[in-house]
Amino acid sequence: MKDILLLHGALGAKEQFSDLNHRLSEHYNVFTFSFNGHGGRDLPDEPFSIDMFADEIITFVKANDLKQADIFGYSMGGYAALYAAYKQPGLFGKIFTLATKFDWSPEIAAREIKMLDTGKIKQKVPKFAEELASRHGPDKWENVLKKNRRNDDRTWK
């Protein structure tokens, strides 16, 4: 069977893919991981960056000896996968993305950053705040959003 790696988005974690993992496991050897600072993993000292996330993908693929693995990346996961493929041509098979934004400008980044306001999320969508706390840890989810806010210009290289 062919290998496939599932990559989550900026506010996600590998657990979000449990159903998809199960469905794809009939046809693929399915792999997932949570990026640094996500899914309860410790936040790195360095800022979040697409370069850092791409390096994590490359390291994971090599450490698990995945040969020409296909990648499905949701949102930021797709962006990081494409950047990893740029850095390491020929390492991956096909790359599929969903909801990956390619057109970044200061205006678009400013709009995206406004949506990462923890106070507004707690006030206006408390269930989403609870979901983020469950996904990343009650004491970590706000820091995940803060790290994303600081680096949401997506020039992340």
pLDDT for 155 equals: 47
Predicted model pTM: 0.91
Evaluate if residue 116 carries a pLDDT over 50: yes
Residue 157: pLDDT band with limits 50, 70, 90: very low
**Position 143 in a domain:** yes
**Position 81 in a domain:** yes
**Position 119 in a domain:** yes
**Position 77 in a domain:** yes
pLDDT for 151 equals: 60
**Whole domain around residue 72: which residue ranges?**
2-150
pLDDT in tens, 65-103: 999 999 999 999 999 999 999 999 999 999 999 999 888
**Position 144 in a domain:** yes
**For residue 108, what is the domain's CATH number?**
3.40.50.1820
Q: What is the mean pLDDT of residues 128-147?
A: 95
**Position 75 in a domain:** yes
pLDDT for 149 equals: 83
Evaluate if residue 107 carries a pLDDT over 90: no
Structure tokens, 121:
């999320």
**Position 157 in a domain:** no
pLDDT for 103 equals: 81
Which DSSP string corresponds to 33-97? -PPTTSTTPPPPSSPP-HHHHHHHHHHHHHHTT-SS-EEEEETHHHHHHHHHHHHSTTS-S-EEE
**Position 72 in a domain:** yes
Number of domains in the chain: 1
pLDDT in tens, 45-71: 999 999 999 999 999 999 999 999 999
